[in-house]
Amino acid sequence: MQPMSKAYNPSEHESRVWQKWIDANAFHADPDRVLNGDARPYCVLIPPPNVTAALHLGHALNNSIQDILIRAHRMKGYETLWMPGTDHAGIATQTMVDKRLKERGEPAIADYKQKELAGEDGRGQFVSLVQDFKDEFEARITDQLMKMGCSCDWDRQRFTMDDICARAVREAFFQLFKDGLIYRGKRLVNWDPVSQTALADDEVEMEEVDGHFYYLRYPLVKEIEGDPTVPVTWGELATRGYPDADNHPDDEQAWVTVATTRPETYMGDTAVAVNPKDPRAGAVRGMHVMLPIVGRIIPIIEDDYVVLPVKYGGEPGDAKAEMSTGFLKVTPAHDPNDYMIGQRHDLEMINIMAPDASISDQHGWDREERGEGGHVFLGKSREEARELVVKEFNARTVAEGSEGSLLEKMVPHKHSVGHSYRSHVPVEPYLSDQWYCKVTDDRLRGNAQRALTPEQRTEASLQAWPESAPTCPRGTGFQPVSPPSPSSSIPDALTIHQRHLPHWQLGGSTYFVTFRVETGTLSEKERDQVLDACFHFDGDRATIRLVTVMPDHVHMILTPLEHESGGYWPLQDLMHSIKSFTANAINRDRGATGPLWQDEYFDRLLRGQDEFVEKWNYMLMNPVKAELCEQPGEYAWTKRGEPGQRRRGRDGLEARPTRGGVEKGVCSTDGTMHFYPARYAKTYETWHDNLRDWCISRQLWWGHRIPVWSRSGVAPFEQFDQFSDWLFDGLTDGRLHARRRDDEEVTREFLQSGEQLDDLFICFKSEPTLEDIRILEEAGFTQDPDVLDTWFSSALWPLSTMGWPDASAAKDSSGIEDFESLLPAFNPTSVLTTAREIITLWVSRMTMFNRYFLSTNPRGTGFQPVTPPPSSLQDDGLEARPTEENMPGPAPFKDVFIHAMIQDGEGRKMSKSLGNGVDPLDIIDSHGADAMRFTLCQMTTQTQDVRMPVERDESTGKNTSPKFDLGRNLCNKLWNASKFALGMFEKAELKPGLPINPEELTLIDRWMLSRVTEATNKVNTALRNYMFKDYADAIYDLFWRDFCDWYLESIKPTIGDNPEQAAVLRTVFDAILRLMHPVMPFITETLFERFEPLPMREIEGFTFEQTKATDTLCLSGWPTPADELRDEVAEEAYERVRSLVTTIREVRATAQVKPKRQIVLHAGGELAADIARWSPLIETLAGVETVTADEPEGQSASFTFEGAEYRLSNLADALDAGAERDRLEKELATIEKSMAGIKGRLSNPGYVDKAPAHLVEQTRNQLAQLEKDHAATKAALDKLA
């Protein structure tokens, strides 16, 4: 192997290391190991990036996080699957390709549309161009992910339009269609006039726009003797009690004024609405208005949707009431609210626009037939039409000779208007025929809400969507987590926090509790008594899951239950009961008095499965480790709770006594999804509250074509018999489904008339045969030209990538042998990692679909029949409840982690238009993938977005950020520390040998082992809670601060002839590489290659997780140092060393001692003894040549340590006494300041009386210490004087 270079150069290693992983097939997941029970599953699905563009820094962050989780779990022995893939992004990709073609001057989509019309398969030709584009970008994205080091299972890469995903889309559409959850509706959609397609609500972006309110006058008319155009005069209104009518001349024609921001839509008005409570309503009842220029006579209707103007009772301050005139123009075909009014009053809908949003009388406005005016507006764009309408109104009056124009006034107004996220033009509410998915159905929306863990749900949501369904007798979709097999390795060491605080606020949680015997041990009989006491309260105040009574301590896992008042039993009360119950009995038998137990330690089990299993394992192994038995099952005082107990929660996981009480039972597939950070659960819930049915059709070519055939506007069809035979055969054998527009049953009678076929929709379960197509075409049917919203296939991602609905077909088409094992092994997945903006749509839709399609019986029984789509856009209130035969499937992931958003230094989004984007590949080139990953990981917290100051490198024209230096520096440090350590091993012999007993090691070694142990715990906790900054900080501090700054510096003089120390260095470095690997895979793997051949001597308690293979670091086991390696004695002692060294260094720095100069420390007594025992730590770290008890001769400097004064000499040839005095005086001031604060606190009677005793005690000790320091420093100062 080559000697190591002076600095780490990532480009020399990254591609080679990557190839090594690929050659080792290291990222390949084996689902059968999960199904055989050989390993627990851990699975992450990549949120498939759009094939429209290369990845940006946000993707880099997201994928780094996923890779960290995946790599850590792989090393922890889980069978891990990270499924990669890309998304076809229908509208975005189609637009991109079109733009590209135009730029190149090649035929673009308009030309292909022409071809298509000419019968030349323009569609097919265009789609194949998009396909080429997709191939190009898919390759680019894949390359980027690989450069970042993403350890995806690349053999399983999917694309949302590949044949496996397509099969899922077709099946899903068919099932939903058959179940009445997909319907056709003529409604207002968000129309993008440039792309000329419908958009879903989430594809519309709101933008602030400076507009105006236009106040338009519509003349009032009434019908007399068949003439509907007779003017109504103010005089007439006045007699009918119209307020203020007498302000106008009696004989003039009256008008009503409407306010609008969109005057150009007035041609589509079909009514004017007024609130029935409006004092003017009675006067105009039954009257009409005449639309100026157009001449249409439309009714005045009454609807309480209309806001009253302030003048007539509207609420002052309400923006609408302030602006309103009380009369509202109603344009059902161009405004969603007007649409609803139109529905209520059965108004005409007149669409006045062409698909490009120009004014047209060819798309629903039969102007000439009606004899209406307004031809001047035809062909005008929306903007032109607005100007023209305003101009025309302004030029006219209500009637000849009237005062004032039809345009009463214009008021500037700022408001936000929906814009297409793709073409950025204002979205037009446009009447059109589209397909909808009825997501408001309880089976979809309701189950998406119920998927959320009750702890994160709001009261309102729990009421609206109560947890449903009886207890679930069969599987839950989770792997059974009955306690793991005894043979599995000892789990992660536990971190137990002492908590004395209000756990009664944390009702319904499961706890891990430990309490110890004050002195002595328990006899066997006494252990029985404790067990009895525990179970005495089981099912009464708590559910006991597992107890193990050791001779000197007790562990238990339990869940407090609700008590009558609605709260939960406080854990303190429970413990008190159990402890006093047993203490009394045992003391009585022993004839003893006094306390038996110490305080308990307890830790809330915040998370379900992993932590539960970890602690469960820990408890089972406890007697084995204490050598009380050989196998976990053999210890007589380990008892599980009664398995048959009703109160046990799902899967024996979190017994979750929920608010209706435990008696109701818990639906095992509800309540499993957790958001991290938890606050996003609320966003998720609220989004569902406002949900409307989802428009799933798009007028595009790039996407999954809608598998529905229909027929309209063609000649009547003669051969009904043959056709209906064919149709009924298809219906009977289930390969197609037919629905009528009005959702009536499809009968033979229905088919009697060829014209009725126009109301028929036929959906095929799989691709229709040529024969089918022939029959359909003869009958005049054509396939729907539209495609599905891209999110429809994205929503199926957890299913489609795993081979649903037909894994054996997926196996055949992909050649992947174990495809059939994927879904059972890995769905539900472990976590979805995504950005904020995706919470709503994607998480929700995946949850809906996963739960729907994996339900025990998604169709038919158990659900109430669903009526055809309601005309209202809102949920119709259907409450179909699942039954036992019809259990919804699991949520597709257990956790949803929402990561931070990356912004530039000014807090703006990174975007192309601002030019503030940073390309991950540029950073990888300049700093290396590991540096980028570490920096991103270190910067991402749960509360703040990531601000990344962007700098432009003028020489390359590329954007970068100085932040990435942090990661690069760390890599370089790691590289050099390795070089140094490897150099050490050339001098210090490493050889295998008997396991090392850590107690026999030197202070510094025991300290280092303790630090690694603690850091490992920190890392485990951080990763479990998705605290990536904490993870980064933990390894940074461990490696740089503890290992490099102190450990390596300390062992320099001793390691050469201390083989045990060499073994510790070897093991510790190994552990550090492993802990760092998830975030910095390339460099750690590179270094591991150099360390791996060196023999490793076992240190007792320092073990590594068992994994599938160990030849590469990425497959090697995670460190699992035993808790016993935490060495408080060593930590405390080394803390004294550090403190002494720091103090001496400070003196050296202030006295300007040359770094190389070796000084003399004058210390006697106990400190001298300590220093001798620690030798040569102080000497090495503080640059001390000799330690002597003698008083210094000549010049010396003094310092205070632990309340005593010591001196240093040989600092320099001549000392600066002034500097020395300054230093001491400053120190004295600091001490005095601290003392004042502490004295103040102690002299406050409230503090001494009310603060916890141990704090007061601590404060007193502090004061005592400070007083000693003060005296010592004072003495030194006096001597100087």
Partner RNA sequence: GGGCGAGUAGCUCAGUUGGCUAGAGCGUUCGCCUUACACGCGAAAUGUCGUGGGUUCGAGUCCCUCCUCGCCUACCA
Restricted to residues 485-544, the positions that interact with RNA (CB under 7 A) are 497, 499-502
Q: Record the tokens describing residue 968, joined without a space.
A: 């690069």
x/- mask, RNA, residues 1153-1192, rule CB under 7 A, reads: -xxx-----------------------x------------
Provide the token pair at 308: 């009253």
> What phi and psi, each to the nearest 5 degrees, are found at residue 881?
-105, 140
At closest approach, how far in Å is the CB of 243 from RNA? 18
Q: Does 1266 bind RNA (CB under 7 A)?
A: yes
Using the rule CB under 7 A, which residue among 30, 171, 269, 335 binds RNA?
335
Q: Closest CB to RNA among 945 and 1267? A: 945
Binding mask 840-859 for RNA (x = CB under 7 A): x-------------------
CB of 191 to RNA, least distance (A): 9
Task: Give the alpha-carbon dihedral of 262, 264, 265, 266, to 10 degrees.
Answer: 100
Which is nearer to RNA, 1059 or 1203 (by Cβ)? 1203
Cα angle vertex 669, ends 667, 675, to 5°?
A: 115
State the helix-helix crossing angle for 1217-1243 and 1128-1150, rounded to 10 degrees: 140
Question: Exactly one of 119, 591, 992, 1252 binds RNA (CB under 7 A); which one?
Answer: 1252
Among 969, 1103, 1106, 1107, binds RNA (CB under 7 A): 969
- Can you tell me which residue has the tokens 């470095």? 1069
- Please identify, using beta-carbon distances, which residue of 587 and 1021 lies nearer to RNA: 1021
Q: Residue 366 or 1132: which CB sits closer to RNA? A: 1132
Instruction: Please give the structure tokens belonging to residue 61.
Output: 């962050």
Give Dmax over CA atoms of the chain in angstroms.
129
Q: How far is the CB of 1058 from RNA (least distance, A)?
A: 14
Q: Which is nearer to RNA, 412 or 1155 (CB)?
A: 1155
How far is the C-alpha of 624 from the C-alpha of 641, rounded, in Å? Answer: 20
Site for RNA in 117-176 (CB under 7 A): none
Of 840, 719, 707, give the one whose Cα is nearest residue 779: 719
Q: Which two tokens stand for residue 522?
A: 């328990």
Binding RNA (rule: CB under 7 A), the pick from 35, 417, 773, 1160 is 417
Are 542 and 634 a contacting pair, CB within 8 Å?
A: no
Helix axes 965-987, 920-927, angle to 10 degrees: 30
Minimum distance between the CB of residue 398 and RNA, rounded to whole angstroms? Answer: 20
- Joined tokens for residue 752: 């009697």
Q: Count other C-beta atoms under 10 Å from residue 47's C-beta.
A: 21
Q: How far apart are CA 998 and CA 1130, in angstroms?
A: 11
Q: Are 78 and 40 in contact (CB under 8 A)?
A: yes
Do residues 330 and 270 make contact, with C-beta atoms less than 8 angstroms apart?
Answer: yes
Give the whole-angstrom CA distance, residue 134 versus residue 51: 6
Q: State CA 523 to chain mean position distance.
A: 51
Q: Which of residues 651-680 bind RNA (CB under 7 A)?
A: 679
Q: What are phi and psi of 621, to 5 degrees?
A: -80, -15
Give whichever of 593 and 913 is closer to RNA, judged by the CB atom.
Answer: 913
Applying CB under 7 A, among 3, 119, 1246, 1278 the residue interacting with RNA is 1246
Preceding omega of 677 cis (within 30 degrees of 0): yes
The C-alpha angle with vertex 220 and arms to 215 and 223, in degrees rounded to 5, equals: 155
Distance (Å, whole) CA 311 – CA 962? 61
Residues numbered 54-83 forming contacts with RNA, rule: CB under 7 A: none
**Smallest distance, Å, CB 1114 to RNA?**
23
Smallest distance, RNA to C-beta of residue 610, A:
18
Question: Contacting RNA (CB under 7 A), which of 577, 683, 872, 883?
Answer: 683
Task: For residue 262, state whether it binds RNA (rule: CB under 7 A).
Answer: yes
**Segment contacting RNA by CB under 7 A, of 563-571, 969-977, 989-997, 1189-1197:** 969-977
Q: Is-contact 789 697, C-beta < 8 A?
A: yes
Q: Does 305 bind RNA (CB under 7 A)?
A: yes
In the complex, the smallest distance separating the C-beta of residue 690 from RNA, rounded to whole angstroms, is 6
Are 1015 and 1038 within 8 A, CB to CB?
yes
**Contact by Cβ (8 Å): 675, 451:** no
Our CB check for RNA shows the closer of 475 and 1053 to be 1053
Residues in contact with RNA, counted by CB under 7 A, come to a total of 109
Distances (CA, A) of 102 to 99, 107, 114, 116: 5, 7, 15, 18
Which one of 2, 487, 593, 943 is in contact with RNA (CB under 7 A)?
943
- Decide if residue 323 touches RNA (CB under 7 A): yes
Site for RNA in 903-922 (CB under 7 A): 905, 907, 909
729: contact with RNA by CB under 7 A: no
Q: What is the dihedral of CA 971, 975, 981, 986, to 10 degrees?
A: 170
Binding residue for RNA, selected from 1145, 1221, 1239, 1274, defined by CB under 7 A? 1145
Shorter beta-carbon distance to RNA: residue 672 or 942: 942
Residue 156 or 1148: which CB sits closer to RNA? 1148
Contact call for residue 1230 and RNA (CB under 7 A): yes
Of 869 and 967, which CB lies nearer to RNA in the complex structure? 967
Residue 1046: CB partners within 8 Å, gap ≥ 6?
Answer: 1004, 1134, 1138, 1181
CB closer to RNA, 20 vs 1145:
1145
- Phi, psi (deg, nearest 5) at residue 81: -130, 120
The region that residue 180 occupies, defined by phi over 0 for left and psi between -120 and 50 for alpha, beta otherwise, is: left
Q: By CB under 7 A, what part of segment 199-238 binds RNA?
A: 201-202, 206, 211, 213
Answer for which of 24, 1237, 1239, 1268 binds RNA (CB under 7 A) is 1237
**Closer residue to RNA, CB minimum distance, 518 or 1146:** 1146
CA 284-290-296 angle, to 5 degrees, is 130
Q: Is the CB of 153 or the CB of 685 nearer to RNA? A: 685
**DSSP letter string over 419-471?**
EETTT-SBPEEEEEEEEEE-TTSIIIIIHHHHTB-GGG--HHHHHHS---S--
337 in contact with RNA (CB under 7 A): yes
**From candidates 2, 473, 1250, 1278, binder to RNA by CB under 7 A:** 1250
Find, among 41, 74, 171, the residue nearest to 799 by Cα.
171
Considering only residues 1123 through 1142, tell me which ones interact with RNA, judged by CB under 7 A: 1142
d(CA 450, CA 465): 7
Question: Is 939 a residue that touches RNA (CB under 7 A)?
Answer: yes
941 near RNA, judged by CB under 7 A: yes
**Exposure of 480 in the CB half-sphere (CA atoms within 13 A):** 10
Site string for RNA, 949-968 (x = CB under 7 A): x------------xx-xx-x
Cα–Cα–Cα angle for 13, 18, 21, nearest 5°?
125
Q: Among 122-130, 420-428, 582-590, 1158-1166, which window interacts with RNA (CB under 7 A)? A: 420-428
Q: Which is nearer to RNA, 329 or 648 (CB)?
A: 329
Could you give the string, one character per residue 1012-1041, with x where binding to RNA holds by CB under 7 A and - elsewhere? -----------------xx--x------xx
Cβ proximity to RNA, 587 vs 683, nearer residue:
683
Considering only 245, 293, 307, 1008, the residue that binds RNA (CB under 7 A) is 307
Nearest approach, Cβ of residue 1149 and RNA (Å): 4
Distance CA 172, CA 29 (A): 27
Amino acid type, 152: C
Kindly state whether residue 976 participates in binding RNA, applying the rule CB under 7 A. yes
Binders of RNA in range 424-463 (CB under 7 A): 426-429
Q: Is 837 in the site for RNA (CB under 7 A)?
A: yes
